Structure 1
Amino acid sequence: MNGESSLMEREMKEKAKGCCSVEERYTQWKSLVPVLYDWLANHNLVWPSLSCRWGPLLEEATYKNRHRLYLSEQTDGSVPNTLVIANCEVVKPRVAAAEHISQFNEEARSPFVKKHKTILHPGEVNRIREFPQNNSIVATHTDSPEVLIWDVETQPNRHAVLGAATSRPDLVLKGHKDDAEYALAMCPTEPFVLSGGKDKCVVLWSVHDHISTLAVEADSDDKQGSIIGGNNEKGKENSSIGPRGIYEGHTDTVEDVQFCPSSAQEFCSVGDDSRLILWDARVGSAPVVKVDKAHRGDLHCVDWSPHDINFILTGSADNTIHMFDRRNLKSGEVGSPVYKFEGHDAPVLCVQWNPDKSSVFGSAAEDGIVNIWDHDKVGKTTADSADSTSPGLFFRHAGHRDKVVDIHWNASDPWTIVSVSDDCESSGGGGTLQIWRMMDLIYRPEEEVLDELEKYHSHIFECNS
């Protein structure tokens, strides 16, 4: 880490040491926003959200880009739960003025986030995942055994009012025998969907199976619609398909699943039994590798590196993140991670690799913190890391005041993150959505930053003379 960013981090750590409450920590974080962030937008939510995801890049302009953004609204039942499709403007690097970044109102809704369409969801939206093969298709989990598929472009816009009927999904994936609440993943190479649930099973579907059936129906009925068959608003029944495979190996609820980035047949799962299991559909429904004790507590999340398919991240109720090398994993043994990352004070709820830099990943936890890590920095002694209690940790986003339930890196706008917190415990309701990008001086190579500062050295001194 370069000298300037190290100074920023040390200042933040020193101020954090004196914090006695979440509000004090938050107030001190706000004072550092102008020097820590290149862009930050705060969006107050009337209802809490349990998931947020970037959709496609919609428009590129000179000073900002417009992106699709998916989020949920978890209501108290007085009005329907919703799946929200929003348009989000993200200012490009080094465009926003520091004073603008620092001036935001926690109670206001950001002008950079505008609701585009609302889908009235049957039940709470626990997870949202987007299809890499089709920008308009998303999958959702709710408190039921089913996975719901939506074409957000063809679905009609609805208003969440008392007594309104819920929207009809375009496709329903059936196969679980109990609720499938959180574990949901999309394959990056094929239109495959993966899910896990309270029935202790991992279930695999192929949307190709529905498309094949739909083609026959279209020939006979002359139907029109999306690749998943239209929005069914006027239909009698939802279209549905059964699974390609059901995989049994967990002894408790499956909390998260993830595909191998290079194979539609390989995937992994984690659960409340503390197990990390690797699967390969080509060799059957039994686990390929079953690590019985990957952590000391329940496992909440998992992510498979898109840069090196040997590395897998797991986050746990034991407050830690483990990075595993799958070449070293053996069934029936206690998991031996390549490294254990310790920097949260509460259960870790989400982990995700940075899509741009192979050694960097983010984590979110119930402590209200989003940590950004670089495993290349582990073991490297520098002036600022010598006294560090969390090797590899180089940035802490403390903008939330309650548990951070989801984060997502923007693949088309490097280093831009959306994060969402459920603020019910701290404020009695609502949530906070934030879009942010740390100052590039923090993560760029030290030599590169020093060269740039040297280039502007004379200009800076002239302006201050």
Structure 2
Amino acid sequence: MDPTDEDYGRWKSLVPFLYDWLAHHRLVWPSLSCRWGQILEQGDYKLKQRLYLSEQTDGSSPTFPNTLTVANVEVVKRRVAAAEHLTFNEEERSAFVKRVKTIIHPGEVNKIREFEASPELFVTHTDAPELFVWNADSQPHRKTGPNMDTEKEGATTPSTPDLVLVGHEENAEFALAVHRERFHVASGGKDQNVLIWNIADHDGGKLWSGRVSDGHGRPAKGALSPRARSGDGVGARSGDFGGAPALAPALKFLGHVDTVEDVAFHPSSALELCSVGDDSALIFWDGRAGTGPTHRVGEAHESDVHCVDWSLLDENAIVTGGADSIVRLWDRRKLSSKGADCVVWSSPAGLHADGITTVQWCPDQDGVFASAGEDGYLNVFDRSRIGAEQTPEAKKLGPPEVLFQHAGHRSSLADFHWNPCDPWTIASVSSGDGGNTLQLWRMTDLLTSTPYAG
């Protein structure tokens, strides 16, 4: 259920009071994923920053293939946005967003994850068993639409990935994570498996820097990583992706009994992770302990579990979201075999009216996390406010733990990403009958627990 016209109109009238900055960008095609990249320039009043977007076309013409968009975004710094930066026309494209490169993707792009350790690299999921790793700096720009010369040989052929990650036996569409400090990629799919690759095992890490790996996923001078020396899965050629090199997984975990929908790494360990799936389970894994689960929470939600995230600031805090429209908090120290016996907190009924698509912890403030749903709303929560006393008037506004509700999208909210380089700034994308929209926004610091001190 998308936001009503009344809700949207009320939200738009309050934008100047609720936001420090907001940019609205109308997309031509639906986008299922958006991710911030590296900072390109630091100005007095703005940042220029990379942003990755997917474009999912209708396939009606070879001149409009599914693509990855590499954009440069101007992020207005805190407390300097002019009044016109907070007003917009729903049909307009923002001057803050400029496409700089298009990559033709082999199939639709379901999810994008960037490598914070080398932010020119990112990995994608599509409707296939393979995953694709791309170097945004070295990939050539491809022309699409009216600018595409269809008579030119190879004009409609998908771009060649820099690396193909193989190992899934069936399609792996959505479950994807990259460790924030290293070069490990985790994935899950319809084959019910959870896989981990270390892309430092490919060509000694030259994919990102021309330097070799230290064997722990970090670029450094020295010998090749052990798997790279052994040649296990390295140097193979993928079958249908322009002859791109392929890499086999380093680890394979077994324990789900239905499709794996999402995965998340432990904040400091690239061998520990958790996953959720259509079997309603939340499962924890440790590569040092074998291929089976270290803990399994059954019935974590009442139906399919769509998404999971592990806090970067608290190694015991995990958040999940499900098709049951509920967001739940978990404490790794208090787990049991049944979700109802160990859940720390569940979002109040009605806060989301439809399934949850994405959950993510804020990287800058301990205890703050957000959820996005098919209902078009993005809710920001503060764990420290759970159970806080409220006045009768405050209760009318919602539970105390709800810090903020973003209602700027008029259709299903597919993805969002906290900006790791600019605190409290979020990119979010929606697609559907209400329009295909990218929004870049930052709530006013009067609503946060960490007011601006500049």
Is TM-score (shorter-chain normalized) higher than 0.5?
yes
The DSSP-based 3-state class of the residue aligned with 2:442 is strand
CA deviations over 1:98-133 (Å, ceiling 9, x no partner): 3x1342111111000000111000100100000122
Q: Which letter maps to 2:144?
A: A
Question: What letter matches 1:171 in structure 2?
Answer: L
Matched, 1:71 2:27: no
Deviation digits for residues 158-185 of structure 1 (CA, Å, limit 9, x no counterpart): 0124651110001000000110000000
Q: Out of 64, 83, 86, which is 2:71 matched to?
A: 86
Structure 1 residue 21: Cα displacement: 6.2
Alignment of 1:191-210 (within 5 A): 191-210=183-202
Report Cα offsets for 1:51-109 as digits up to 9, x if no partner: 000001111101111110000100011221000000000111111123x1342111111
Alpha-carbon distance in 2 for matches of 1:110, 1:387: 35
Aligned to 1:157: 141
Cα 1:255–1:21 change in 2 (3 A) is closer
SS in 2 for 1:34: helix
Asked if 1:270 corresponds to 2:276, the answer is: yes
Alignment correspondent of 1:97: 82
1:360 aligns with 2:368: yes
Cα drift, residue 190 of structure 1: 2.2
Instruction: State how far apart, in whole Å, the 1-side matches of 2:449 and 2:300 are.
Output: 33
Amino acid in structure 1 at the alignment position of 2:291: S
RMSD: 2.6
**Mapping 1:448-463, distance limit 5 Å:** none
Counterpart CA distance in 1 for 2:72 and 2:269 is: 32
Distance 1:143 1:21, change over 3 A: closer
Query: Structure 1 pair 21/404, CA: closer, same or farther in 2 (3 Å)?
Result: closer
Q: Is the deviation greater in 187-196 or in 83-92? A: 187-196
Alpha-carbon distance in structure 1 between the residues aligned to 2:446 and 2:338? 44
**Matched residues in 1 for 2:423 and 2:132: separation?**
30
TM-score (norm 2): 0.86
Specify which of 355, 375, 378 is matched with residue 347 of structure 1.
Answer: 355
Q: Which residue of 1 aligns with 2:316?
A: 310
With normalisation by structure 1, the TM-score equals 0.84
Contact 1:300/1:315 (8 A) holds in 2: yes
Aligned counterparts of 2:354 and 2:319: Cα–Cα separation in 1: 17
SS in 1 for 2:7: helix
Match of 1:251 among 245, 254, 257: 257
Q: Deviations over 1:257-283 (max 9, x none)?
A: 010011011000000111000000001
Q: Tell me the equivalent position of 2:423.
A: 414
Flag the structure with higher helix content: 1
Counterpart pick for 1:241 among 238, 247, 256: 247
Alpha-carbon deviation of 1:189? 2.9
Q: How far has the Cα of 1:146 moved from its partner?
A: 0.4
Q: Shift in Å at residue 330 of structure 1?
A: 2.5
Identity %: 50
- Secondary structure, counterpart of 1:426 in structure 2: coil
Pair 1:49-2:31 in alignment: yes
Distance 1:159 1:106 in 2: 27
Task: Note if contact 2:109-2:125 (Cα within 8 Å) is conserved in structure 1.
Answer: yes
CA distance in structure 1 between the partners assigned to 2:205 and 2:373 by the alignment? 42
| Count of residue pairs brought into register by the alignment | 414
1:376 aligned to 2:380?
no
Structure 1 residues 208, 102: CA separation in 2 closer, same or farther (over 3 Å shift)? closer
Q: Are 2:2 and 2:375, in contact at CA under 8 Å, matched by a contact in 1? A: no
**Alpha-carbon distance between aligned partners in 2 of 1:341 and 1:236, rounded to the nearest angstrom:** 46
The amino acid across from 1:152 in the alignment is A
C-alpha contact (below 8 Å) 2:115/2:183 kept by paired residues:
yes
Contact 1:341 1:391 in 2 (8 A): no
Asked whether the 8 Å contact 1:274–1:294 carries over to 2, the reply is yes
Q: 5+ residue gaps in structure 2? A: 151-155, 211-218, 221-233
Alignment partners' CA distance in 1, 2:318 and 2:332: 7
CA contact (8 A) 2:390 2:400 kept: no
Question: Quick check: 2:11–2:407 contact (8 Å CA) kept in 1?
Answer: yes
Q: Are residue 147 (structure 1) and residue 156 (structure 2) matched?
A: no
Distance in 2 between residues matched to 1:353 and 1:371, nearest whole Å: 12
Q: Which moved more, 1:327-336 or 1:414-423?
A: 327-336
Deviation at 1:362, TM superposition (A): 1.1
CA displacement 1:283-311 (0-9 Å, x = unmatched)? 10000001111111211100001011001
Q: What residue number does 1:175 align with?
A: 167
